[in-house]
Amino acid sequence: MEAYKQEFIEFMVESDVLKFGEFTLKSGRQSPFYMNAGAYVTGEQLKRLGEYYARAIHDNFGLDFDVVFGPAYKGIPLSVVTAIALSELYGKEVKYCSDRKEVKDHGADKGGMLGYELKDGDRVIMVEDVTTSGKSIDETYPKLMAAANVEVKGLIVSLNRMEVGKGGVTTAQKEIEAKYGFPVASIVSMAEVVEHLYNREVKGQVVIDDAIKTAIDAYYEQYGVKDGAQ
């Protein structure tokens, strides 16, 4: 596993973004882990977060694109910090763009988008925090394509939960790839998280002990994808 991935896993824990225990997800599933990207709140955290996204985009998709698009609301700061990091790390100038939950009907920037005004032919990388069901992409992708005839080069999320999506066979990431025809990647997968954190101390405490590891294994026994379907 690359060093920046190991750093990112510990960074999520240190930032109280990735937690372990008992959580009820939006889907109703009872999960032994939960990720909340809204917990990145400091300047230092946001700077580092953008750098991790930029590195993962570089490694998975290259730098041949024009726009970073982040679905509202959590995707807005993600698109901004990622665009900044791409400039700082790689000298790559890109624009940021997000959709608005409510269309603005006044001013010079009225419309359904925030930031850069998309144009036909723009090549876009989408950024999200985590994809569990793909619902947010189903909502924002039509808005993106209605704004201009753009080419989506890929979607990057911070964590691949590696559980079955709405279809009940493959992951939400694979479902999105099949439905929309663009690749989906993550900074890290849950398998990499478990591999790195099992019996490892972060901030003086073991993050994934035997009990939590057992709960995670049981969760994936129920909700994980079967071999070959990831």
In the annotation, is 104 catalytic? yes
In the annotation, is 196 catalytic? no
CA torsion sign, 123 to 184 to 99 to 81? Answer: negative
Q: Which long-range contacts (CB under 8 A, 24 or more apart) does 39-42 make?
A: 39/15, 40/15, 40/77
Choose among 123, 122, 70: nearest CA to 101.
Answer: 70
Catalytic residue among 26, 47, 104, 135: 104
Q: Mind spelling out the 3-state secondary structure of 83-144? A: HHHHHHHHCCCCEEEEEEEEEECCCCCCEEEEECCCCCCCEEEEEEEECCCCHHHHHHHHHH
Catalytic residue among 26, 106, 203, 226: 106
**Positions marked active-site:** 104, 106
